[in-house]
Structures are given as C-alpha cells and as structure tokens.
Structure 1
C-alpha cells in the first residue's frame, strides 16, 4: 500500500479568489486554469501529478463509493491524503491514552472502518452544483448527502499568507467550507462558528468542473470526517 508522503513542497497551492479574476476559473498551485475538465471527478483526482489523492481514492475503491463522487450534478468537497494522515494521527493519540503501544493506520481504516467511510463520505457531497459564481461573502446553508448541513462562503481575507497586501486595493477572496455539528440560524455570522457548533476549513482548490460535477479540494490541515 502506498504510504502518505509528507512533503511541504508538493502541497497544492492555497486558492485565492481575486476580484480581478473570473469567478468561473479555478486555481491550482497559484496558476489560473480553465474550469472545464474533460474527465470525471474520480479520474481528475487520480490524474493529480503529485498523487495527493492516492490514499483517498484507495479508500474510495475499497469502500465501493466511486459512483458517489462521480454522480452527475453533485459537488464534492474532496479531502486529500494529508487529511487522512491527520485523521490516523488523531486516532492514534486517542487510542494511546488507553494503550500507549497501539497505533491507528490506514490499514486500520480498511480493516475496521470501511462501512464508516462509506457512510461518512456523504458529508463531503452536496447534491447540486456549487460554483464560485453562486457563492456569497456571508455564505449560505446547504444539505449534504448524509442529511446534515454545511455553509459554503466566498470570503474576503486580510491574511498575508493568503495573498493579502495592504498596499493593494484588491482584497483576496477564499472559499470556506463550514461543517455544522449543530443547527445554526440562517443569518449566523459564519466567521464566528467554532467547535462544538461547527468547523471551518479553507478550500485550497476551488471551482473545478469535471464531466460529472464540481470539485472543491479541502485544505491539507483538515482532519478526515472532522474527527475530534
């Protein structure tokens, strides 16, 4: 089984939506790309030259949920291999509080948690197309395929790490995915949401439009399934 490689040099670029760029484009590694991709969501992830989805796709294959992410007209908020790594690390820390010698690995997911993976992948799927052009600063609530709710927003950022320059009149914008653990009001200030109410994740690649749906790739700091 291919190991998850932790190499900061191969991370996908943070995705910054700048007002001078078309909302319909998408960014990868700081470069603007045509949003129309002539392959399925699964094949696009598989074609990533850095292999950052290899473990995710292996789990998708093992759990038999390829058709879920390739379903026509959906939006998939794709986790990366780094998000899986963050998950197994967090699980190992929890297990070692009981037995310091135990570890949780990707093999543990395959052996014990494929049913959970098959079910929980639905929290990353919306049964509609959510393109950057339809997103707002304040965000809007949507249903995921599991029946829960999330908020997706297109927010201005003044974080220098995300491209903000105080000497520029252009304010960068980023797509944020906010998973909700508890119900919130429709007019909630999305930037104020924190656990245990919800968890916010930066989208690092947004607005990719495959032949089967829309893909927004979650930041590598995310933990799979929002494990806490």
Structure 2
C-alpha cells in the first residue's frame, strides 16, 4: 500500500455537505451532480488525487487486464487500495496459522497470484451499463463476467453516517452490491442475504459514467475478491 487517504470526504459520494468538498461534487446517496466523465474508466481511477486506486491499478497493469475495465459498455465495481490491504491482512492471518513469521503482501500477489487476479477481477465486471436510474430498491440479479451472479440495489437509508437527517423530508439512498456465493431464486429479500448465501457491500461512490462504461466504487471495508 503506497498511499493512505488523508481526506477521504471528497471521494465518498455518500457523504453530505462536507465543507472541504466542492459544493457541487456529489448528491446525497452517491449520485454525481455531473456523472459524465470525459476519460476512460482506467484514467478516471488513475486521476484520483488521493491515490486510492494506485495499488489496484498497479495490479491491473501487472496482470495485463487494463482492457477488461476499459471495455466499452461495461460496469465496473471498483475495489480500492484499502480493499487490497484488507485482503493481504486476511491472507496473512491464514498463512500464519502454518508459519507465524510469514507475511502476505502486495508483492506476494504479484509473485504468486497475478493469474488469480486477472481471472477474479471479472467478478466485479458486468456487460451491462448499470447507471443509478436503472436500479431499484428491491434489487435485481445480474451476471458478472465470471458467470456468477450478483444483486445491485438502490436502498433508502436512515443511517446518519450515510446522510440521513431526521429533520429532512428527503431520505437518502445508497447503492449496495450483493455478491452471491450460492444460487438463489428470482424472488428474494436482498436485505436478508448474509454468508454463506452472499455478502452485501456498500458502494461509496456511484454512477460515475466514463467514456467507456459505468463505475461504482466499493466500500473501503470490502475484502478483495470476498476472500474468506
């Protein structure tokens, strides 16, 4: 991990009226005021001034999958460097069960797991452009590029940390990405899905529409590739 975010407020589309952000940066709930971005998905991630995708992009480059996230007409649920950090921490705990002195690092990913990275990045990509205006509160199932299923929903929240204010008549909404470990039917309650069926991840910045596709940025608490 090369960089730590000093001021994360302007990255988060779910943050309300933070004085350090430009007034027209984001709507409550993750909708960009101006969602149209005149650059590719890769270049938009690279341009982030806090460097929150630096490690992710380095791995994308090393694995040779830049074309996957820049493919025309796709939606990419982008992990951040924090999600990579969470992964190496989880892997370290696992390998230390065998050798307490052993560490798993980003260098370990580059040495041993670039093939896995190149294949697994497809779980975050779908061939449909899922802009927020297409999303529903109850959620809908979609297929990712690995052939697995996920649900994306656009839900109301009453969490003050996500912009809810009891004095306001406007209830903010947030996007959630629910990765499915198991097959489920077409009738489901998305809010009740938990492991081992699936795992729900908050989208912290949504609806970025680049010249190549749509980007939704996953929460910094996510663990890369849902490693368990």
TM-score, length-scaled by structure 2: 0.91
What is aligned with 2:19? none
Q: Per-residue displacement from partner, 1:66-101 (whole Å, max 9, x unpaired)?
A: 000000000000000000000000000111111110
What is aligned with 1:38? 38
- The 3-state SS of whatever aligns with 2:199 is strand
C-alpha distance in 2 between matches for 1:159 and 1:111: 41
Q: Per-residue displacement from partner, 1:126-175 (whole Å, max 9, x unpaired)?
A: 00100100000000000000000000000001111111122222111000
What is aligned with 1:222? 222
Is this contact kept in 2: 1:4–1:82, CA < 8 A?
A: no
C-alpha distance in 2 between matches for 1:16 and 1:152: 20
1:70 and 2:64 matched: no
Which of 1, 4, 9 is matched with 2:2 structurally?
4
Q: Per-residue displacement from partner, 1:36-85 (whole Å, max 9, x unpaired)?
A: 11100000000000000000000000000000000000000000000000
What is aligned with 2:154? 154
C-alpha distance in 1 between matches for 2:6 and 2:99: 31
C-alpha distance in 1 between matches for 2:130 and 2:178: 14
C-alpha distance in 1 between matches for 2:67 and 2:154: 28
What is aligned with 1:111? 111
Q: In structure 2, do the counterparts of structure 1 residues 85 and 29 end up closer, same or farther at CA, with 3 Å as the change threshold?
A: farther
Which structure 2 residues correspond to residues 33-182 of structure 1 after superposition, within 5 A?
33-182=33-182
1:197 and 2:167 matched: no
Q: In structure 2, do the counterparts of structure 1 residues 29 and 202 end up closer, same or farther at CA, with 3 Å as the change threshold?
A: closer
Is this contact kept in 1: 2:31–2:206, CA < 8 A?
A: no
Q: Structure 1: state its 5+ residue gaps.
A: 18-24
The alpha carbon displacement at 1:184 in A equals 1.2
The alpha carbon displacement at 1:31 in A equals 8.9
RMSD over equivalenced CA pairs, Å: 2.0
C-alpha distance in 2 between matches for 1:60 and 1:168: 42
Is this contact kept in 2: 1:13–1:28, CA < 8 A?
A: no
- The 3-state SS of whatever aligns with 2:215 is strand
- The 3-state SS of whatever aligns with 2:187 is coil
- The 3-state SS of whatever aligns with 1:171 is coil
C-alpha distance in 2 between matches for 1:27 and 1:122: 29
C-alpha distance in 1 between matches for 2:195 and 2:173: 23
What is aligned with 1:22? none
Q: In structure 2, do the counterparts of structure 1 residues 82 and 28 end up closer, same or farther at CA, with 3 Å as the change threshold?
A: farther
Q: In structure 2, do the counterparts of structure 1 residues 146 and 31 end up closer, same or farther at CA, with 3 Å as the change threshold?
A: closer
Q: Structure 2: state its 5+ residue gaps.
A: 17-24
- The 3-state SS of whatever aligns with 1:10 is coil
C-alpha distance in 1 between matches for 2:31 and 2:76: 21
